[in-house]
Chains A and B, each alone.
Chain A
Amino acid sequence: MQPAHDIALLLARFQFAFTVGVHIVFPAFSIGLAAYLAVLEGLWLKTDRAVYLDLYRYWIKVFSIVFGMGVVSGLVMSYEFGTNWSVFSRRAGPITGVLLSYEVMTAFFLEAGFLGVMLFGMNRVGRGLHFAATCCVSVGTLISMTWILASNSWMQTPRGYMIEPGTGRFIPADWLAIIFNPSFPFRLVHMGLAAFLSVAFIVGATGAWHLLKARREGRQASGPVRVMFSMAMWMAALVAPLQVLAGDAHGLNTLKYQPVKIAAMEGDWESKGRAPELLFGIPNMRTEHTDYAIGIPLVGSLILTHSPDGRVPGMKDFPPDQRPPSYVIFFSFRIMVALAMLMVLVGFWSLWLRRRGTLFSSPGFHRVAVCMAPAGFIALLCGWVTTEVGRQPWTVYGLLRTSDSISPLALSNMALSMTVFVVVYVIVFGSGMGIIARLLARAPQEGEHQTRPSHAPDIMATSTHPRVIDPSSDQGT
């Protein structure tokens, strides 16, 4: 294979990893935040306590930014399969393209259709309908996740297909088997919890930041700050342990269907029973050895087989051209697990403080919570790297190689588009992060709805609200 093809392939892979890596953060953020907003508005309608409405108005500003960035970065993804991976598209499109279309029709339109009402429609449609719109957007984000993970899981554990002789296309034979493929339920739960957890830690860190700030300024933190911090810590305490269980189940599923991925994640070369769990090491693909390995005896077998004598796979059980790059996923997996442990710890710590009644007056804990702001998202990205790099060298596991999936493109095109995407993403999404940081640096107020932060798309802020002359439209609240 000529070197230009290899470089183009590497660039195409890097470009996909980069664009999807940036993208994945926003839908995950939207999934968690939309659900949080729906809960807040529901609580407001049920209890009529203003603090929930204040928080709703505070977080919806962030949501509108996050959602917009998710839409535009996702638009890129829906065309990148064709521009960079045309062979994959032609062969797998009859399956993955159809699943993507279902995602657009059942989820994207639902989200986009009701987002306008959610952001701008409070005084046009009334409370009940507005709550329904928020729920539609939230449900839309969940449906979207379901379809894309069905498609992604099918690439990991393909089922329900036939391969057409001559063209090599994947022909759908059984759609239920395609959608409910073996790794799908595990991935769905793991990813869904990851989205909730990521947002919980962002909300928690924002609350903690404002608790610290209030303490420094010698005043009591406002009601909304305390409520959001408390809600986020409940989520951390409840969801982080659940996520560990879900991750464990997903790992066992991977061991069954993609054992070489597990071997590469663990840096194990020889299949053996009573295997240690490596805490550190540098897997070397050439010498087929993990250098500088430090491990705990028996724990590897214990984690993977739930028995100290259990047999775990080694990469040498598989031909070299079927092994994923262990030196990447060995580390990404460990970072994810370490962050998960920290998140569980923060959750339990919060429970203990809550019992002692000092949840809002423990600055040490609040500082930790601020530092943990990106923990969920970093863990999510590391987990994604582990599963996708662990799928290599295949796009459709065991059936279509990544090197055979790429478009017949000139290297110069690939290099140009890569440069353009990096520059534009840094400017646009960098600015977006900056704007979100500025919004969060301002504490939520009691009576958030009465303040009109200049020109922000607050749902009651008439300054940017499209004002209407049509007299027939005053049936709202």
Chain B
Amino acid sequence: MMDFAYWLPIVWAVILVAAISIYVVLDGFDLGIGMLFALERHEGRRDVMVNTIAPVWDGNETWMVLGGATLYGVFPGAYSTLLPAFYLPIVFMLVALIFRGVAFEFRIMTRGTGREKLWDFGFMAGSGIAAFCQGAILGGVVQGIRVVDGAFAGGSLDWLTPFSVLCGLSVMCGYALLGATWLVWRTTDVLEAACRKWAVWLAAGLFACIVAVSFWTPLLHAPYLRRWTEWPNIVAVAPVPVLVVVLGGLLAMGLRRGHTRVPFLCALGWFFLCLSGLGITVWPYAVPPGLTLWDVSSPPSSQFFQLVGTAVLLPIILTYTVYSYRVFRGKVTQADGYH
């Protein structure tokens, strides 16, 4: 095997996982804030919640477009099997994201017409459904799909299992936690206090979900179990669960002692560990259980051309993303003369 053709897919797998992680983290708290609309009924405080993300949500969602486009260009074999396999959850996720995306503007623009309730609901339900679908798709990928001759050969509801439903609920819970801890960081007074309270419950729920998924995943396929239990693998992978527990302790402490940033950073840490855990589990498969990274790759001439651009552009993108977050840094409060 040519070295180039061997290494390029690995480099791309790392970049893609990084892009998905960035997406999950950034859009995670966006979607979480949408779901927290279910707990916060006060219009003014809802506006504050939305205002903490209004200037940045477009950029956050762009990481999802990048994920889709990268999969399409770099791993077309995965793009063309996974997307038909998860046809229904993808369609529902897209529709949900449409509703919540336009709701940012529509819920304000329609105020006074009687239709603003529809868009508040769209923002909340859209966020919840999108989060659930993303989790279910993730779970569905881990449990694997049926592929014959490089094309999806299963049924349209194959993805729907107790495991994928659990993953969907876990992601909902996780995003809500990210949203609550983000608001602890970025808001004040009543809202901050409420979010602290919600975050405790959400953290407990997410911890339970992580434990359940962690024990269930190795039972799906024999190689998954070996990855986590066989010597010497176990030495390399053991820090993951240990760190999950440590971060959980830090998170609880941060919430109780009134830290503003620590809870959010701990929640981010949890997401990072969970995604790493999933990566360790399915490696080196792109479409478990049959197709590896190399099976689904586009030719080196495609992957290399795109890598050159990515190496230049991604750092630039990260730079101005950070800049735009800095422009809008600081606590957000309910505006004067609002009610």
A interface list, Cβ under 8 A from B:
64-65, 67-69, 71-76, 78-79, 81-83, 86-87, 89-91, 93-106, 108-117, 119-121, 124-125, 164, 169, 171-173, 175, 407-410, 412-413, 416-417, 420-421, 424, 428, 431-432, 435, 438-439, 454-457, 462-470, 473
Contacts and interface: CB of A to CB of B under 8 A. Distances in A.
A395 B335 CA distance: 53
23 contacts: A65-B102, A68-B105, A73-B98, A78-B68, A79-B83, A79-B94, A82-B79, A82-B82, A87-B80, A89-B83, A98-B306, A99-B73, A100-B69, A102-B309, A108-B62, A112-B58, A117-B327, A121-B327, A416-B88, A456-B108, A464-B108, A466-B55, A468-B332
B76 A90 contact: yes
B97 A72 contact: yes
B61 A71 contact: yes
Contacts, number: 286
B161 interface: no
Contacts of A95: 302
B90 to A, nearest CB: 6
Contact of A119 (B55, B98, B108, B309): B55
Given A93-B298, A439-B109, 5 more contacts: A67-B58, A82-B82, A96-B72, A108-B62, A468-B328
- Report the 3 A-B pairs with minimum CB-CB distance, sorted nearest first: A93-B76, A470-B330, A97-B73
B59 interface: yes
Contact of A104 (B65, B80, B98, B156): B65
B329 interface: yes
Interface in B302-320: 302, 305-306, 309-310, 313-314, 317, 320
A114 B320 contact: yes
A466 B107 CA distance: 16
Contacts of A72: 97-98, 101-102
B113 to A, nearest CB: 9
Nearest to B112: A454
A90 to B, nearest CB: 4
A71 B111 contact: no
B112 A75 contact: no
Given A90-B150, A94-B302, A104 B66 contact: yes
A456 B108 CA distance: 7
B153 interface: yes
Contacts of B97: 72, 75
Interface stretch (B30-38, B46-54, B171-179, B193-201): B46-54
Nearest to B150: A90
A451 to B, nearest CB: 15
Contacts of A465: 51, 335
A108 B60 CA distance: 11
B272 interface: no
A161 to B, nearest CB: 10
Given A90-B77, A172-B299, A457 B108 contact: yes
Contacts of A470: 329-331
A116 B59 contact: yes
Contact of B156 (A64, A82, A108, A413): A413
A113 B54 contact: no
A417 B330 contact: no
A456 B107 CA distance: 10
Contacts of A96: 72-73
Contact of B328 (A69, A86, A124, A175): A124
B109 A79 contact: no
A109 B336 CA distance: 33
A120 B328 contact: yes
A137 to B, nearest CB: 10
Contact of B58 (A71, A90, A106, A408): A71
B95 interface: yes
A468 B331 contact: yes
Nearest to A418: B91
Contact of B74 (A65, A97, A104, A424): A97
